[in-house]
Amino acid sequence: MLKIATIIGSTRPGRNGETVGRWVYEIANKRSDAEYELVDIADYHLPLLDEPMSPVMGHYTKEHTKVWSEKIASFDGYIFVTPTYNRATSGALKNAIDYLYKEWNNKAAGLISYGASGGSSAMDSLRLILSELRIAHVRSQVSFSLHTDFENYRIFKPTSHHESAVNAILDEVEAWGGALKTLRNTGVDVV
């Protein structure tokens, strides 16, 4: 069975990402084609990238990196829940992604964002990052506006049509994740 992580991509105190991530995870957990897990980058306490060697080498010296590597390597795909900070994904999510390399390769990802303008710029920046890591990001995406999907910019109130959009992302991530798992199981390293 496929394992897919819903990754909460913010560590900011009072963040909206935890509520959005849990809502996505609850939708995903109703499905039976994959096993879903909620992964909060805040739980890993990753300092600003502090490994002495490039992650491409895979030689990690810090315990927090080894724990993060093991967690991320265990998945076949990811749903990234990202805030929009200054028209990009969060620095905390970028840092968490940058800690690793091969653990991300040849896996699938879906993107969900939130922000004042819905977060599409965060997804655009994240797509560039994921492409470099050889992560197949799916076309479907969901963005939430702080103006219309949150009450007083804090209380998450998604409309019902968002649930079907999240399920479309999950369908695509499961399909691509399964195809890429088959590829990874062949032992062929796709460049």
Query: Is the whole-model pTM more than 0.85?
Result: yes
Q: Does the domain made of 2-185 have the CATH classification 3.40.50.360?
A: yes
Q: What is the pLDDT of residue 186?
A: 81
List CB contacts of 2: < 8 A, sequence separation 6 or more.
33, 34, 35, 76, 77, 174, 177, 178, 181
State the pLDDT at residue 159.
87
The DSSP-derived string for 26-39 is HHHHT-SSEEEEEE
Give me the average pLDDT of each 10-residue run along the chain (191 residues): 97 95 97 97 97 95 98 98 94 98 97 91 96 96 94 91 96 97 78 51
What pLDDT score does 188 carry? 64
